[in-house]
């Protein structure tokens, strides 16, 4: 049987890794402009962002979409 890699770019990536990479690349100010959610604009932190994103599917989806579209910029 062939070892095939998952085609899902989020496979094996945790939400923590996604948020940390986005914050490192964009910063909270730009993230707050790109995705209009309070956890990026009002007293932002990785911990508060993770808490909110774990409870809010629509926001997590937006963050994951930004991460996938930003992957080429991270290299």
pLDDT band at 4 (very low <50, low <70, confident <90, very high): low
pLDDT at position 22 is 97
Q: What is the DSSP string of the chain?
A: ------S-TTTT--HHHHHHHHHHHHHHHHHHHHS--HHHHSS--HHHHHHHHHH-HHHHHHHHHHHHHHHHHH-
Average pLDDT of the chain, as a whole number: 92
pLDDT at position 7 is 85
| Model pTM score | 0.88
Residue 32 has pLDDT above 70, yes or no: yes
pLDDT at position 3 is 59
pLDDT at position 74 is 84
């Amino acid at each position: 049987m062939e070892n095939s890699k998952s085609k899902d770019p989020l496979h094996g990536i945790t939400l923590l890794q996604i948020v940390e990479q986005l914050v490192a690349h964009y910063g909270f100010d730009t993230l707050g402009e790109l995705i209009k959610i309070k956890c990026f604009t009002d007293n932002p932190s990785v911990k508060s962002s993770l808490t909110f994103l774990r409870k809010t599917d629509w926001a997590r989806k937006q963050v994951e979409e930004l991460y996938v579209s930003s992957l080429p910029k991270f290299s």
